[in-house]
A and B are shown apart, each in its own frame.
Chain A
Amino acid sequence: MPKITYIENNGKSYTVDVSNGLSVMEGAVQNNIPGIDADCGGGMACATCHVYVKEEWFDKLPKKKDGEEDMIDMAFEPNKFSRLSCQIEVSDELDGLIVKLPEKQA
Protein backbone atom coordinates (compact mmCIF):
# COMPACT_ATOMS: atom_id res chain seq x y z
CA MET A 1 0.00 0.00 0.00
CA PRO A 2 1.39 3.45 -0.87
CA LYS A 3 2.73 5.48 2.02
CA ILE A 4 1.74 9.14 2.17
CA THR A 5 3.37 11.67 4.48
CA TYR A 6 1.44 14.65 5.79
CA ILE A 7 3.40 17.41 7.52
CA GLU A 8 1.47 19.81 9.71
CA ASN A 9 2.32 23.50 9.64
CA ASN A 10 4.04 23.10 13.04
CA GLY A 11 6.34 20.46 11.56
CA LYS A 12 4.61 17.40 13.04
CA SER A 13 4.72 14.63 10.49
CA TYR A 14 2.45 11.63 9.91
CA THR A 15 3.21 8.79 7.52
CA VAL A 16 0.29 6.48 6.84
CA ASP A 17 -0.69 3.72 4.43
CA VAL A 18 -3.41 4.83 2.05
CA SER A 19 -5.16 2.37 -0.27
CA ASN A 20 -4.95 2.86 -4.01
CA GLY A 21 -7.97 4.69 -5.35
CA LEU A 22 -8.58 6.78 -2.25
CA SER A 23 -7.80 10.47 -2.42
CA VAL A 24 -5.00 12.07 -0.43
CA MET A 25 -7.78 13.93 1.43
CA GLU A 26 -9.53 10.67 2.39
CA GLY A 27 -6.20 9.26 3.53
CA ALA A 28 -5.87 12.14 5.98
CA VAL A 29 -9.47 12.08 7.20
CA GLN A 30 -9.57 8.29 7.71
CA ASN A 31 -6.34 8.43 9.71
CA ASN A 32 -7.50 11.38 11.82
CA ILE A 33 -4.72 13.64 10.63
CA PRO A 34 -5.50 17.18 11.75
CA GLY A 35 -5.35 20.10 9.37
CA ILE A 36 -7.51 18.84 6.52
CA ASP A 37 -11.13 19.90 6.99
CA ALA A 38 -12.69 18.70 3.73
CA ASP A 39 -15.96 20.49 4.48
CA CYS A 40 -17.63 19.59 1.21
CA GLY A 41 -16.55 15.95 1.40
CA GLY A 42 -14.49 15.83 -1.79
CA GLY A 43 -16.75 17.68 -4.21
CA MET A 44 -14.15 20.30 -5.17
CA ALA A 45 -16.52 22.89 -3.78
CA CYS A 46 -14.80 24.33 -0.73
CA ALA A 47 -10.95 24.45 -0.78
CA THR A 48 -10.61 23.22 2.80
CA CYS A 49 -8.46 20.21 1.91
CA HIS A 50 -5.73 22.45 0.52
CA VAL A 51 -2.15 21.09 0.67
CA TYR A 52 1.25 22.19 -0.54
CA VAL A 53 2.80 19.34 -2.48
CA LYS A 54 6.52 18.83 -1.79
CA GLU A 55 8.35 20.43 -4.68
CA GLU A 56 9.88 17.30 -6.19
CA TRP A 57 6.49 15.60 -6.24
CA PHE A 58 4.48 18.40 -7.78
CA ASP A 59 5.15 17.55 -11.43
CA LYS A 60 4.72 13.83 -10.85
CA LEU A 61 1.08 14.23 -9.90
CA PRO A 62 -1.75 13.91 -12.40
CA LYS A 63 -2.55 17.41 -13.69
CA LYS A 64 -5.21 19.61 -12.13
CA LYS A 65 -8.73 19.14 -13.39
CA ASP A 66 -10.96 21.93 -14.64
CA GLY A 67 -12.10 24.02 -11.75
CA GLU A 68 -9.43 22.99 -9.26
CA GLU A 69 -7.33 26.10 -9.86
CA ASP A 70 -10.46 28.26 -9.52
CA MET A 71 -11.16 26.70 -6.17
CA ILE A 72 -7.53 27.14 -5.06
CA ASP A 73 -8.09 30.89 -5.50
CA MET A 74 -10.18 30.62 -2.37
CA ALA A 75 -7.76 28.53 -0.35
CA PHE A 76 -5.83 29.87 2.63
CA GLU A 77 -2.49 31.28 1.39
CA PRO A 78 -2.11 29.34 -1.84
CA ASN A 79 1.24 29.07 -3.61
CA LYS A 80 2.49 27.44 -6.80
CA PHE A 81 2.62 24.01 -5.16
CA SER A 82 -0.98 24.20 -3.97
CA ARG A 83 -3.38 21.36 -4.71
CA LEU A 84 -6.72 20.23 -3.37
CA SER A 85 -5.97 16.89 -1.76
CA CYS A 86 -9.43 15.56 -2.66
CA GLN A 87 -8.37 15.69 -6.30
CA ILE A 88 -5.19 13.63 -5.91
CA GLU A 89 -5.91 9.94 -6.30
CA VAL A 90 -3.50 7.61 -4.56
CA SER A 91 -1.73 5.01 -6.72
CA ASP A 92 1.48 2.99 -6.55
CA GLU A 93 3.26 5.78 -8.43
CA LEU A 94 2.54 8.12 -5.53
CA ASP A 95 4.17 5.85 -2.92
CA GLY A 96 6.27 8.20 -0.75
CA LEU A 97 4.31 11.36 -1.61
CA ILE A 98 4.84 14.21 0.84
CA VAL A 99 2.33 17.01 1.32
CA LYS A 100 2.56 19.95 3.68
CA LEU A 101 -0.52 21.38 5.33
CA PRO A 102 -1.28 25.10 5.51
CA GLU A 103 -1.48 26.87 8.85
CA LYS A 104 -5.25 26.59 8.64
CA GLN A 105 -7.91 25.82 6.07
CA ALA A 106 -10.27 28.74 6.46
Chain B
Amino acid sequence: MMINTDVLVIGAGPTGLFSVHQLGIIGLKCEVVDNLDKIGGQCIELYPDKPIYDIPAIPECTGEELTKNLIEQIKPFKTKFHLSDRVEKINYEENKWLIKTNKLKEFRASSIIIAGGVGSFEPRKFTIKECEKFEGKEIFYSVKDKTIFKNKTVSIFGGGDSALDWAIELSANSKVQLIHRRDEFRGAQASVDKVKKLSTEGKIELLTQYQLSAIAGDNKLQSISIKHDSETIKKIETNYVLGFFGLVMQLGPIATWGLNLDKKTIPVNTENFETNQKGIFAIGDICAYPGKLKLILSGFHEGALAARGCFKYARPKEKLKFEFTTTSKNVQSRLGVKKND
Protein backbone atom coordinates (compact mmCIF):
# COMPACT_ATOMS: atom_id res chain seq x y z
CA MET B 1 0.00 0.00 0.00
CA MET B 2 1.30 3.42 -0.93
CA ILE B 3 1.12 6.08 1.77
CA ASN B 4 0.87 9.57 0.31
CA THR B 5 2.09 12.48 2.41
CA ASP B 6 3.77 15.86 2.01
CA VAL B 7 6.95 15.07 3.91
CA LEU B 8 8.59 11.91 5.20
CA VAL B 9 10.59 12.58 8.35
CA ILE B 10 13.35 10.08 9.07
CA GLY B 11 14.18 9.98 12.76
CA ALA B 12 11.97 10.46 15.82
CA GLY B 13 14.52 12.20 18.02
CA PRO B 14 13.93 15.71 19.37
CA THR B 15 14.91 17.35 16.09
CA GLY B 16 12.60 15.15 14.02
CA LEU B 17 9.76 15.70 16.49
CA PHE B 18 10.05 19.46 16.42
CA SER B 19 10.23 19.46 12.62
CA VAL B 20 6.86 17.63 12.72
CA HIS B 21 5.54 20.56 14.73
CA GLN B 22 6.91 23.11 12.32
CA LEU B 23 5.48 21.23 9.33
CA GLY B 24 2.15 21.00 11.13
CA ILE B 25 1.77 24.69 11.81
CA ILE B 26 2.41 25.58 8.17
CA GLY B 27 -0.22 23.05 7.15
CA LEU B 28 1.92 20.21 5.79
CA LYS B 29 1.27 16.55 6.50
CA CYS B 30 4.06 14.18 7.43
CA GLU B 31 4.81 10.65 8.57
CA VAL B 32 7.80 9.59 10.67
CA VAL B 33 9.98 6.48 10.36
CA ASP B 34 12.45 5.42 13.06
CA ASN B 35 14.56 2.32 13.49
CA LEU B 36 14.11 2.24 17.26
CA ASP B 37 11.02 0.71 18.84
CA LYS B 38 10.19 3.94 20.65
CA ILE B 39 10.02 7.69 20.05
CA GLY B 40 12.86 9.89 21.32
CA GLY B 41 16.08 8.94 19.53
CA GLN B 42 19.33 9.44 21.45
CA CYS B 43 17.40 11.21 24.24
CA ILE B 44 15.61 7.98 25.04
CA GLU B 45 18.19 5.43 23.98
CA LEU B 46 21.34 6.99 25.41
CA TYR B 47 20.34 9.28 28.25
CA PRO B 48 16.68 9.00 29.34
CA ASP B 49 17.61 9.90 32.95
CA LYS B 50 20.41 12.36 32.35
CA PRO B 51 19.45 15.97 32.96
CA ILE B 52 19.81 18.40 30.07
CA TYR B 53 20.48 22.03 31.02
CA ASP B 54 20.57 23.86 27.70
CA ILE B 55 17.08 23.72 26.26
CA PRO B 56 15.96 27.36 25.99
CA ALA B 57 13.51 28.33 28.76
CA ILE B 58 13.75 24.88 30.40
CA PRO B 59 16.37 25.13 33.16
CA GLU B 60 16.59 21.37 33.58
CA CYS B 61 14.88 18.31 32.14
CA THR B 62 15.75 14.72 31.36
CA GLY B 63 15.84 13.17 27.90
CA GLU B 64 12.64 11.37 28.72
CA GLU B 65 10.82 14.51 29.88
CA LEU B 66 11.95 16.43 26.82
CA THR B 67 10.63 13.65 24.57
CA LYS B 68 7.30 13.53 26.42
CA ASN B 69 6.83 17.27 26.03
CA LEU B 70 7.70 17.21 22.35
CA ILE B 71 5.18 14.41 21.77
CA GLU B 72 2.57 16.46 23.65
CA GLN B 73 3.39 19.51 21.52
CA ILE B 74 2.74 17.67 18.22
CA LYS B 75 -0.42 15.90 19.40
CA PRO B 76 -2.77 18.20 17.42
CA PHE B 77 -1.26 16.96 14.16
CA LYS B 78 -2.03 13.27 14.82
CA THR B 79 1.19 12.25 13.13
CA LYS B 80 1.71 8.62 12.27
CA PHE B 81 4.93 6.99 13.51
CA HIS B 82 6.41 3.92 11.86
CA LEU B 83 8.74 2.52 14.53
CA SER B 84 11.19 -0.39 14.38
CA ASP B 85 11.43 0.29 10.69
CA ARG B 86 14.14 1.76 8.55
CA VAL B 87 14.10 3.58 5.24
CA GLU B 88 16.10 1.49 2.80
CA LYS B 89 15.59 2.94 -0.66
CA ILE B 90 14.50 6.21 -2.17
CA ASN B 91 13.76 7.02 -5.81
CA TYR B 92 12.78 10.23 -7.52
CA GLU B 93 9.84 9.84 -9.90
CA GLU B 94 7.52 12.46 -11.37
CA ASN B 95 8.48 15.20 -8.92
CA LYS B 96 7.99 12.96 -5.90
CA TRP B 97 10.21 10.85 -3.74
CA LEU B 98 9.23 7.20 -3.53
CA ILE B 99 10.43 5.71 -0.28
CA LYS B 100 10.69 2.04 0.66
CA THR B 101 11.31 0.73 4.16
CA ASN B 102 12.79 -2.42 5.58
CA LYS B 103 9.28 -3.66 6.38
CA LEU B 104 8.30 -2.97 2.77
CA LYS B 105 6.13 0.03 3.54
CA GLU B 106 6.00 2.54 0.71
CA PHE B 107 5.60 6.28 0.87
CA ARG B 108 5.19 8.96 -1.78
CA ALA B 109 6.27 12.39 -0.54
CA SER B 110 7.28 15.68 -2.13
CA SER B 111 10.18 15.99 0.27
CA ILE B 112 12.18 14.14 2.89
CA ILE B 113 13.60 15.50 6.11
CA ILE B 114 16.50 13.43 7.41
CA ALA B 115 16.74 13.94 11.17
CA GLY B 116 18.76 10.81 11.59
CA GLY B 117 21.15 11.79 14.38
CA VAL B 118 24.29 9.82 13.77
CA GLY B 119 22.46 7.12 11.88
CA SER B 120 20.39 4.23 13.08
CA PHE B 121 21.05 2.28 16.24
CA GLU B 122 22.26 -1.26 15.62
CA PRO B 123 23.45 -3.83 18.14
CA ARG B 124 27.20 -3.82 18.63
CA LYS B 125 28.52 -7.16 17.45
CA PHE B 126 31.40 -9.50 18.23
CA THR B 127 34.58 -8.41 16.54
CA ILE B 128 35.54 -11.86 15.30
CA LYS B 129 34.71 -12.21 11.63
CA GLU B 130 33.56 -15.85 11.76
CA CYS B 131 30.69 -14.84 14.06
CA GLU B 132 28.76 -13.53 11.04
CA LYS B 133 28.42 -17.08 9.77
CA PHE B 134 26.45 -18.12 12.86
CA GLU B 135 24.54 -14.89 13.36
CA GLY B 136 20.80 -15.44 13.65
CA LYS B 137 21.31 -19.21 13.99
CA GLU B 138 23.45 -19.75 17.10
CA ILE B 139 24.75 -16.26 17.79
CA PHE B 140 22.24 -13.58 18.72
CA TYR B 141 22.32 -9.94 19.80
CA SER B 142 18.74 -9.95 21.04
CA VAL B 143 16.40 -12.71 22.12
CA LYS B 144 13.31 -13.30 20.04
CA ASP B 145 12.39 -16.85 21.08
CA LYS B 146 13.76 -17.95 24.42
CA THR B 147 12.34 -21.48 24.14
CA ILE B 148 15.16 -22.56 21.82
CA PHE B 149 17.63 -22.32 24.73
CA LYS B 150 15.86 -24.89 26.90
CA ASN B 151 18.23 -27.63 28.12
CA LYS B 152 21.07 -26.17 26.05
CA THR B 153 24.35 -24.47 26.89
CA VAL B 154 24.20 -20.71 26.43
CA SER B 155 27.25 -18.43 26.64
CA ILE B 156 26.24 -14.86 27.43
CA PHE B 157 28.66 -11.96 26.93
CA GLY B 158 28.31 -8.47 28.42
CA GLY B 159 28.16 -6.58 31.69
CA GLY B 160 24.97 -4.55 31.47
CA ASP B 161 21.36 -5.21 32.35
CA SER B 162 20.54 -7.22 29.23
CA ALA B 163 23.37 -9.67 29.88
CA LEU B 164 22.54 -9.99 33.58
CA ASP B 165 18.78 -10.31 33.08
CA TRP B 166 19.10 -13.00 30.42
CA ALA B 167 21.71 -14.90 32.46
CA ILE B 168 19.28 -14.96 35.39
CA GLU B 169 16.26 -15.86 33.31
CA LEU B 170 17.90 -18.58 31.21
CA SER B 171 19.72 -20.15 34.16
CA ALA B 172 16.41 -21.74 35.18
CA ASN B 173 16.34 -24.12 32.20
CA SER B 174 19.73 -23.85 30.52
CA LYS B 175 23.39 -24.24 31.35
CA VAL B 176 24.58 -20.63 31.41
CA GLN B 177 28.00 -19.00 31.32
CA LEU B 178 28.17 -15.26 31.88
CA ILE B 179 31.35 -13.86 30.41
CA HIS B 180 32.52 -10.28 30.91
CA ARG B 181 35.72 -8.34 30.30
CA ARG B 182 36.11 -7.12 33.89
CA ASP B 183 34.96 -7.98 37.41
CA GLU B 184 32.52 -5.09 37.78
CA PHE B 185 29.12 -5.12 36.12
CA ARG B 186 27.32 -1.94 35.13
CA GLY B 187 23.80 -3.38 35.44
CA ALA B 188 21.40 -2.84 38.34
CA GLN B 189 22.89 -3.84 41.71
CA ALA B 190 19.98 -6.17 42.47
CA SER B 191 20.68 -8.13 39.26
CA VAL B 192 24.42 -8.22 39.98
CA ASP B 193 23.69 -9.64 43.46
CA LYS B 194 21.32 -12.21 42.00
CA VAL B 195 23.88 -13.34 39.43
CA LYS B 196 26.55 -13.68 42.13
CA LYS B 197 24.15 -15.72 44.25
CA LEU B 198 23.29 -18.00 41.33
CA SER B 199 26.99 -18.33 40.64
CA THR B 200 27.77 -19.54 44.19
CA GLU B 201 24.85 -21.96 43.87
CA GLY B 202 26.42 -23.29 40.68
CA LYS B 203 23.51 -22.22 38.48
CA ILE B 204 25.53 -19.68 36.48
CA GLU B 205 29.17 -20.04 35.60
CA LEU B 206 30.67 -16.58 36.03
CA LEU B 207 33.77 -15.92 33.92
CA THR B 208 35.21 -12.43 34.28
CA GLN B 209 38.23 -10.74 32.71
CA TYR B 210 37.53 -12.89 29.66
CA GLN B 211 36.75 -11.86 26.09
CA LEU B 212 35.80 -13.94 23.06
CA SER B 213 38.91 -14.92 21.10
CA ALA B 214 37.81 -17.63 18.67
CA ILE B 215 34.86 -19.63 17.52
CA ALA B 216 34.66 -23.15 16.06
CA GLY B 217 32.13 -25.18 14.11
CA ASP B 218 31.40 -25.97 10.47
CA ASN B 219 27.71 -25.60 9.83
CA LYS B 220 26.79 -25.58 13.46
CA LEU B 221 28.50 -23.74 16.28
CA GLN B 222 30.46 -26.18 18.43
CA SER B 223 32.71 -24.30 20.77
CA ILE B 224 34.09 -20.91 21.61
CA SER B 225 37.44 -19.89 23.03
CA ILE B 226 37.71 -17.08 25.51
CA LYS B 227 40.89 -15.29 26.48
CA HIS B 228 41.66 -14.12 30.01
CA ASP B 229 43.48 -10.83 30.69
CA SER B 230 46.45 -13.01 31.67
CA GLU B 231 46.44 -14.39 28.07
CA THR B 232 45.33 -17.90 29.08
CA ILE B 233 42.69 -19.37 26.81
CA LYS B 234 39.68 -21.41 27.82
CA LYS B 235 37.63 -23.48 25.41
CA ILE B 236 33.90 -23.92 26.04
CA GLU B 237 31.56 -26.35 24.30
CA THR B 238 28.38 -24.42 23.73
CA ASN B 239 25.15 -24.38 21.73
CA TYR B 240 24.31 -20.71 21.70
CA VAL B 241 26.12 -17.40 22.16
CA LEU B 242 24.41 -14.17 23.13
CA GLY B 243 26.23 -10.82 22.91
CA PHE B 244 24.93 -7.74 24.73
CA PHE B 245 27.32 -4.87 24.07
CA GLY B 246 24.82 -2.06 23.69
CA LEU B 247 24.09 -0.19 20.50
CA VAL B 248 26.20 1.54 17.92
CA MET B 249 25.10 4.14 15.46
CA GLN B 250 25.49 3.30 11.79
CA LEU B 251 24.76 5.63 8.91
CA GLY B 252 23.29 2.61 7.12
CA PRO B 253 21.37 2.99 3.84
CA ILE B 254 21.49 6.82 3.96
CA ALA B 255 25.00 6.52 2.51
CA THR B 256 23.56 5.06 -0.70
CA TRP B 257 21.06 7.81 -1.55
CA GLY B 258 23.33 9.96 -3.66
CA LEU B 259 23.82 12.58 -0.99
CA ASN B 260 27.11 14.39 -0.57
CA LEU B 261 28.71 13.10 2.62
CA ASP B 262 31.38 14.52 4.86
CA LYS B 263 32.49 11.61 7.05
CA LYS B 264 29.18 10.57 8.63
CA THR B 265 27.42 13.90 8.12
CA ILE B 266 25.48 15.48 5.26
CA PRO B 267 26.45 18.96 4.08
CA VAL B 268 23.50 21.37 3.78
CA ASN B 269 22.96 25.01 2.99
CA THR B 270 21.93 27.08 5.98
CA GLU B 271 19.12 28.86 4.18
CA ASN B 272 16.72 25.92 4.31
CA PHE B 273 18.92 22.91 5.23
CA GLU B 274 18.49 21.30 1.85
CA THR B 275 21.11 18.77 0.75
CA ASN B 276 22.58 18.40 -2.73
CA GLN B 277 19.42 16.44 -3.66
CA LYS B 278 16.35 18.53 -4.45
CA GLY B 279 13.68 18.08 -1.80
CA ILE B 280 15.88 16.24 0.66
CA PHE B 281 16.67 18.17 3.80
CA ALA B 282 18.97 17.19 6.67
CA ILE B 283 18.74 18.57 10.20
CA GLY B 284 20.13 17.88 13.65
CA ASP B 285 23.33 15.97 14.39
CA ILE B 286 23.47 14.47 10.91
CA CYS B 287 23.81 17.75 9.02
CA ALA B 288 27.01 19.68 8.50
CA TYR B 289 27.67 23.36 7.76
CA PRO B 290 30.21 25.91 8.92
CA GLY B 291 29.67 26.61 12.60
CA LYS B 292 27.43 23.59 13.19
CA LEU B 293 26.79 22.86 16.86
CA LYS B 294 25.50 19.43 17.81
CA LEU B 295 22.92 20.81 20.21
CA ILE B 296 19.22 20.04 20.44
CA LEU B 297 18.44 23.74 20.24
CA SER B 298 20.28 24.00 16.91
CA GLY B 299 18.24 21.05 15.65
CA PHE B 300 15.02 22.93 16.49
CA HIS B 301 16.10 25.95 14.46
CA GLU B 302 17.19 23.74 11.57
CA GLY B 303 13.80 21.95 11.64
CA ALA B 304 11.90 25.23 11.49
CA LEU B 305 13.76 26.29 8.36
CA ALA B 306 13.67 22.87 6.70
CA ALA B 307 9.89 22.67 7.19
CA ARG B 308 9.50 25.95 5.31
CA GLY B 309 11.90 24.62 2.68
CA CYS B 310 9.54 21.67 2.17
CA PHE B 311 6.60 23.98 1.49
CA LYS B 312 7.55 24.93 -2.07
CA TYR B 313 7.72 21.25 -3.05
CA ALA B 314 4.43 20.33 -1.38
CA ARG B 315 2.49 23.42 -2.54
CA PRO B 316 4.34 24.66 -5.63
CA LYS B 317 1.54 27.03 -6.62
CA GLU B 318 1.12 28.65 -3.22
CA LYS B 319 3.20 31.21 -1.43
CA LEU B 320 4.02 30.54 2.20
CA LYS B 321 2.90 33.41 4.39
CA PHE B 322 4.88 33.90 7.57
CA GLU B 323 2.59 33.72 10.59
CA PHE B 324 3.00 33.83 14.36
CA THR B 325 1.34 31.24 16.59
CA THR B 326 0.28 34.08 18.91
CA THR B 327 -1.85 35.85 16.32
CA SER B 328 -2.61 33.62 13.34
CA LYS B 329 -6.11 32.13 13.27
CA ASN B 330 -4.89 29.67 10.62
CA VAL B 331 -2.07 28.35 12.75
CA GLN B 332 -4.22 28.28 15.86
CA SER B 333 -6.88 26.23 14.14
CA ARG B 334 -4.22 23.75 12.99
CA LEU B 335 -3.10 23.54 16.60
CA GLY B 336 -6.70 22.98 17.70
CA VAL B 337 -6.66 26.09 19.89
CA LYS B 338 -10.14 27.09 21.07
CA LYS B 339 -10.51 30.78 21.80
CA ASN B 340 -12.99 32.04 24.37
CA ASP B 341 -13.23 35.67 23.39
Contact = CB atoms under 8 A, between A and B. Distances in A.
B264 interface: yes
B16 interface: no
List 4 A-B pairs, minimum CB-CB distance, nearest first: A70-B186, A106-B248, A74-B246, A39-B118
Contact of A40 (B118, B127, B181, B246): B118
A69 interface: yes
B110 to A, nearest CB: 31
A17 interface: no
B181 A37 contact: no
Interface string A35-46: 001011101011
Contacts of A46: 46, 118, 248-249
B135 interface: no
A55 to B, nearest CB: 15
Interface size class of A (residues with CB under 8 A): 10 to 19
A73 B249 contact: no
A88 B10 CA distance: 34
A74 B211 CA distance: 12
Contacts of A39: 118, 248-249, 264
B46 A74 contact: no
Contacts, number: 50
B158 A106 contact: no
Interface in B282-309: 285, 294
A39 to B, nearest CB: 4
Contacts of A73: 158-160, 180-182, 186, 245-246
Dominant secondary structure of chain B at its interface with chain A: loop
Given A40-B46, A106-B250, A74 B245 contact: yes
A74 B162 CA distance: 13
B184 interface: yes
A48 interface: yes
Contacts of B264: 37, 39
Contacts of A74: 124, 245-246, 248
Contacts of B160: 70, 73
Nearest to B294: A41
Interface string B259-294: 000001000000000000000000001000000001
A77 interface: yes
A59 B113 CA distance: 47
Contacts of B186: 69-70, 73
A70 B185 CA distance: 8
B42 interface: yes
Contacts of A43: 46-47
B294 A48 contact: no
A45 B50 CA distance: 11
A93 B263 CA distance: 32
A47 B250 CA distance: 13
Contacts of B180: 73
